[in-house]
Chains A and B, each alone.
Chain A
Amino acid sequence: MVLGVGAAAWPFIYVTLTRLLRVLREVEEVGPLLASKLLALGLLVFLGILLLSNLIAALSSFFLSKDLPWIRAAPVDWLSVYLSRLTETLVSSSWMVLLMLVPMLAAYATVYRGGWEFVALSVAAVVPFLVIPAAVGSAITLLLVRLFPARRSRDILGIIAVAAVGLVVLLLRVLRPERLVNPESYRNLVDFMAALRGPSSPWLPSQWGADVLAGFLQGGLDPFLLILLWTTAAGTVTVGAVLHHTLYASCFTKAQEGNENRIRRHAGWVWLERAVSRISLQRQQLVLKDVRIFFRDTTQWSQLIILGVLVVVYVYNMRVLPLASGEMITRYLITLVVFLNLALSGFVLAAIAARFVFPALSLEGQTLWLLRSAPLDAGTLIGAKYWVGAVPLTALAILLTGVTNHLLGVPAALAILSLVSTVALSLAFTAQALAWGVYYPEFESENAAQIPTSIGGLLFMLGAVINLGIVLAVQVFILRGFLASGLPGREPRDPWLWEVGLALAATLLCCTAAAVFPYRAAVRRLEELEA
């Protein structure tokens, strides 16, 4: 999945940035300035992400990793421990940024004809750029653990990191960077870049890196900045090593201490208990247990922040489409956007099901003995897991499709078709995600976010996309007469009622089959599963 997303993101970043840089290159005087500002902005965002992800990764590699007791007991000198753990922290938190940097720098190299010298210079600038936040992040983590227990520090950092990433995504989207490729908005562009002048700082490694790379491409390499990057990297690693030598032993001991986690009942739980009081006692207990665990695990619920941001960005994208302004409006385009909206929101729902529903059984992991030794049949367990996943997913489906259809001003018949389709798809995706999760459980995994990247997760996504494709194909086939009526030279018309009804029936039939069979398969498989 990660490779798939990466493969799709690389050409997208490269093509978009190349196009943008070519436009900027043609603008005399301001163009090169804007190109280097853009690079500085990109590196500044990456620096922030790197710092936050290094803070969290350092907690795992320095304090929470399961092999640490053995390493602490082994005759390994402190410097080797520091350097090996720092490298582990750096690699685990920087690989994604590195993957994003490659197409970005390749676009600069292509447009400004950087050649192999630019590749070598990029490596020389990027290495210390990655080392600095790793060393600083590890040192801050060390100091944080001195103040708080390690698991509490991870919770705090997790929320901060996810919220910060969400904010960056939101900020970048609301700034509407697509205006940059529109030559008519140069005036806005200048305003936009001027607004960005604020965060740039001569004291940050991102600025040094951007100045080194942009300077080389524009014929003015400053070797002092490269030396500054390397000496700062060496300096931060040295300071980090000294801190590690002085504080690590006492901090590691402190990290082993449990923190007090007293739970008090509050209104939310009372409401939830009332809400599920009508279902059977076993289902009730399973649902309450899953919801409690989800909201008490910051690594789980904090990802809802990102989800919320993505939904806002998605809805915002629909709102700023030129269709709504009436400038380029055609019936045909609106109809196409309805189907595009269904495809995109379907894909988003499948991805969310992969992240939150697919790991449902795997997360029972080593506690499955408790369920298997109780008088609990597989159907009840699957039923509880299904509704815990299906209710929020369906609510999200209604929100996504309902709001976007309203913003697009979609005719009522098409809006109903679209709404029912996403609800039916979300119910089918939940069953499929659950089934693939039961067939390919990852009981040993400690990280819920990694579980969907398994083979079962990939198979689920594949199946869900095929399900979505079939629904879209069937709807387009049934409504082909109406769709063709919007083409130039034809008499435009509304969809006939029988067309919408037939498309609705076909969608429901398809999604019911795609929900019932996987659901039954999940129950059968769970009955046979040994844990």
Chain B
Amino acid sequence: MIVLENLTKRYGAFTAVSGLDLEIGESQIFGLLGPNGAGKTTTLRMIAGILRPDAGRVIVAGHDNVLDPMEARRSLGFVPDRPFVYDKLTGAELLRFSAGLFGLRGPAVENRIDELLELWDLVPWKDQLVESYSHGMRQKLIISSALIHRPRVLVVDEPMVGLDPRSAWLLKDVLRTFADGGGTVLVSTHTLELAESLCDRLAVIDRGKVVASGSIDDLRRAARSEAAGLEEIFLKITRGATDSTIARVVGQ
């Protein structure tokens, strides 16, 4: 459902994403891992159609998102890393607005709004302006907005930021159910526990390139650590700071 072919994005002389190739099928949750500045968010924003690739292409549900952007976007729900939405709209108005952008209206939309708000315990906040929502509540509202049109593909950047433990558990359940129903989820995260417990396949990207991909077992083999957890694998693959460097920087 998501195919990335030689995807490249440059900002001036800096190459944020360099020749990325990925293929993510139906009923799959795919995790994108990588250190800060590795190019995860840029990749996700290109898939969502917010950024234009300098080279390569993105296919979402069979539609090229440069040649056939409207159909590609119609199939996709996007959750950004920072929950910026219109502060002066109410939660219900924002969801109605979002549905309207996808060409949906009427009683079906009102029912969908109610069921999504109910799922996230946001019903009492339905007619409150978003400016009075907490960070976590905004995150839940944006996830609802991404789901309002029943997309086939969900692209989620750092989904757990700001969510309380119950909501985080609920989100995992939502994503799993979405994938089990035939959907495709691409999630970028720093929460390795989430990636380990949720994702069917993973890719670690560093400096805009895939350095390892596959199942957890595939990554273990790539890191030559057969019994290691995802954290150890991640640090080996991305070459984290050594103990001596840490001691030198923060030592008394």
Chain A residues close to B by CB (< 8 Å): 151, 258-264, 281-282, 284-285, 288-289, 292-293, 296-297, 365-377, 528, 530-531
Contacts and interface: CB of A to CB of B under 8 A. Distances in A.
Contacts, number: 91
Contacts of A292: 88-89, 93
A369 B103 CA distance: 18
Contact of A263 (B127, B133, B134): B127
Given A260-B128, A296-B129, A281 B103 contact: yes
B97 A297 contact: no
A299 to B, nearest CB: 11
Q: For B48, B49, B86, which residue has the most chain A Cβ atoms within 10 angstroms?
A: B86
A373 B78 contact: yes
Contact of A258 (B50, B80, B96, B132): B132
Contacts of B84: 365-367, 369
Contacts of A281: 100, 103, 105
Q: Which 7 A-B pairs have the closest CB atoms?
A: A285-B100, A366-B84, A261-B129, A374-B101, A258-B132, A373-B78, A296-B88
Contacts of B97: 285, 288-289
A261 B131 contact: yes
Contacts of A260: 128, 132
Nearest to A371: B101
Contacts of B103: 281-282, 375
Interface string B85-97: 1101110010011
A373 B98 CA distance: 10
Instruction: Report the contact-size class of chain B (Cβ under 8 Å from the partner).
Output: 35 or more
A365 to B, nearest CB: 8
A149 to B, nearest CB: 10
Interface string B36-72: 0000000001001111100000000000000001110
Interface of B: 45, 48-52, 69-71, 73-74, 76, 78, 80, 82, 84-86, 88-90, 93, 96-98, 100-103, 105, 127-129, 131-134, 145
A289 B49 contact: no
Nearest to B104: A281
Contacts of A530: 50-52
A370 B48 contact: no
Contacts of B133: 258
Contacts of A369: 45, 48, 50, 78, 80, 84
A367 B52 contact: no
A372 B48 contact: yes
Given A296-B88, A370-B145, A377-B70, A282 B131 contact: no
A289 B131 contact: no
A289 B129 CA distance: 13
Nearest to B124: A262
A367 B84 CA distance: 6
Given A151-B131, A263-B93, A374-B101, 6 more contacts: A261-B132, A262-B128, A263-B90, A281-B100, A289-B97, A373-B49
